[in-house]
Amino acid sequence: MSENSKFSPGPATGIGSMPGSDTREAAKTVVGIFGGGEGMPYLPELSARGPGADMIGRTAGMLVELYARVEPSGWRIGDRPGRDTRRARSWLREDLDAVEEFTQGYEGPLKVQAVGPWTLAAALELKNGEAALSDLGACRDLAESLAEGLRAHLADVRRRVPGAELVLQLDEPSLIAVLRGQVMTASGYRTHRAVDRQHVESTLRDIIGVHGDGPVVVHSCAPDVPFALLRRAGAAGISLDFSLLTERDDDAIGEAVEGGTRLLAGVVPGTDGPLSDPAGSVMGVRTLWRRLGLNPGLLGEAVAITPACGLAGASPEYARKALGHCVRAARSLADNPE
């Protein structure tokens, strides 16, 4: 088992995005719910503020010697930093200031999120309007820029929260589409060619390596998560929407867990609605464990409970309830693994 795979994310955490635009309130909520040993606090993302606070824009703002601006069709790589880059960086500093304020004296895991290289390549446009994914040279340049940006970002967070054990989450919702050649071209009439799996894996390994011995989680809320590929690339944990798993995933999940990979199981709905009792929320996790013949005593250590996806589309009140529910559901799982 690698050193990376021995990390403990704690019983529960969130994905990243939160509703609203109040940075301090979001940081206070996340640290208050998860910061007392109940889970893993994280750096909130508040996309409601507009372009640059969204997942793609925030990560584009981290890039080194590559810049992006907002066009009607989305984010496009440009020659120099402009208003959109400055705004993205300003909001990230604001978010970091808030987390720093509420984590004074904190010791334990702290998660920061960024878009992974392949979802970024599928989302960022080149000057001709096509996705960077259309040009493997552009993909390589993007990955190198992302690696440098993440090194600087992680160093900044370490300085601000010196007691934190940093966990890096790479958001890769488009990874399956990249592997299968399902990312649409600008015209919408065809798709970009599938990228070779070994190349995808190699690039992910390079980005994961940026965190050194620190653990990296890959999050994907799409079906058919490529467990084996992510494990080979060095992911210490895999975060997913639990409702999208099928029995076809059983063998891959069993191998991942037995190999020390942590599962961040998204079982709590990410948008407003009724919440079941905590034990009911994790019933599917227990069922999976029994089906795989895994040791129930491993559950509390191997699985963290999360929302199914980000909470940007939820109300602030529901977001607080959902995160608190994750903590209670994780407690239920640990107390009654069978």
Q: Is residue 336 predicted with pLDDT exceeding 50? A: yes
Measure the CA–CA gap between 323 and 26, rounded to whole angstroms: 12
**Distance from C-alpha of 100 to C-alpha of 102, rounded to nearest angstrom:** 6
> What value does the mean pLDDT take over residues 311-324?
97
Residue 318 has pLDDT above 60, yes or no: yes
pLDDT for 46 equals: 97
Predicted local confidence at residue 219, as pLDDT: 98
φ, ψ at 63 (rounded to 5°): -60, 150
Backbone angles phi, psi at 176, to 5 degrees: -65, -40
By the 10 Å C-beta count (0-12 exposed, 13-18 middle, 19+ buried), 321 is classed as middle
Residue 194: count other Cβ atoms within 10 Å of its Cβ.
14
* In contact, 114 and 83? CB cutoff 8 Å: no
For 17, phi and psi rounded to 5 degrees? -75, 145
| 241-274 tens-digit pLDDT | 999 999 999 999 999 999 999 999 999 999 999 9
The pLDDT tens digits for 70-87 are: 999 999 998 898 999 999
Mention the CATH class of domain 23-335: alpha beta
Across 53-78, average pLDDT: 95
- Say whether pLDDT at 216 is over 90: yes
pLDDT of residue 7: 78
- Reported pTM: 0.96
Question: What confidence tier does 206 reach under pLDDT thresholds 50, 70, 90?
Answer: very high
pLDDT at 296 over 50: yes
Q: Identity (one letter) of the amino acid at 57?
A: G
d(CA 179, CA 175): 6
Mean pLDDT of 307-334: 96
Over residues 206-232, mean pLDDT: 96
239: which strand partners?
A: 219, 264
The answer, yes or no, to whether residue 37 has pLDDT greater than 90, is no
46 contact partners, CB below 8 Å, separation of at least 6:
17, 18, 19, 20, 21, 22, 23, 26, 53, 91, 95, 312
Strand 108-115 and strand 74-78: pairing? unpaired
Nearest by Cα to 171 from 293, 312, 69: 312
Q: Which helix (H) or strand (E) holds 307?
A: strand 303-307
> Distances from the Cα of 96 to the Cαs of 1, 101, 218, in angstroms?
33, 9, 21
Based on its alpha-carbon atoms, the radius of gyration of the chain, rounded to whole angstroms, reads 19
- Give the pLDDT of residue 6: 66
Domains of the chain by residue range: 23-335
Tokens for 228, please give them: 């084996």
- CA distances from residue 157 to 27, 86, 111, 184, 244 in whole angstroms, order as listed: 14, 19, 10, 36, 33
The Cα–Cα gap between 166 and 172 comes to 19
Could you tell me which residues come within 8 angstroms of residue 87 by beta carbon, excluding any fewer than 6 positions away?
Answer: 51, 52, 61
pLDDT of 2 strictly over 50: no
Q: pLDDT band at 8, cuts 50/70/90?
A: confident
What integer is the mean pLDDT of 290-317?
A: 93
Contact predicate 75/68, CB 8 Å: yes
Q: Which residue has better confidence, 335 or 90? A: 90
Of the candidates 44, 18, 40, the residue with the CA atom closest to the CA atom of residue 101: 44
pLDDT given for residue 74 in this prediction: 93
Instruction: Report the pLDDT averaged over residues 85-109.
Output: 96
Find the DSSP H helices in 43-109: 55-62, 83-102
What average pLDDT does range 159-166 have in this prediction? Answer: 96
Per-residue pLDDT at 192 exceeds 60: yes
Tokens of 176: 């399956």
Q: How far apart are the C-alpha atoms of 39 and 12, rounded to whole Å?
A: 4
Q: What is the mean pLDDT of residues 297-304?
A: 89
